[in-house]
Amino acid sequence: MDEQTASWREQGKPPMLFKRFAFGSYAQTRAFLDALAALSEETGQHPQNINFGTTYVNITLDAADGATLGEAERAFAARVDALAGSSG
């Protein structure tokens, strides 16, 4: 597992990266979701699935080529981690 995405769980065939983010309030969840949408807009990369309630967001990233998780996916995951840090 790449150090950059150590906190993400690699699962499934083809492999995907999964992580759950928990927040103290809906306002923080909302700020994170808005920042995540902006990141997708900026990079053109979209999580395979985003699943959220008022105080949690589950994110699944799939392999762009449908087979192997590469540098692009890991870099996106690291940027999502950074967003979560700043929505705290």
Radius of gyration from C-alpha coordinates of the chain:
12
In whole angstroms, how close is the CB of 3 to its own copies at the nearest point?
Answer: 28
Kindly give, in sequence order, each residue whose CB lies less than 8 Å from that of residue 78, ignoring residues fewer than 6 positions away.
4, 5
- Confirm or reject binding of residue 11 to its own copies (CB under 8 A): no
* The one among 7, 20, 25, 37 contacting its own copies by CB under 8 A: 37
- Closest to its own copies by CB, 7 or 49: 49
Residues with Cβ < 8 Å from 6, sequence gap 6 or more?
none
Report in angstroms how near the CB of residue 33 gets to its own copies at its nearest. Answer: 8
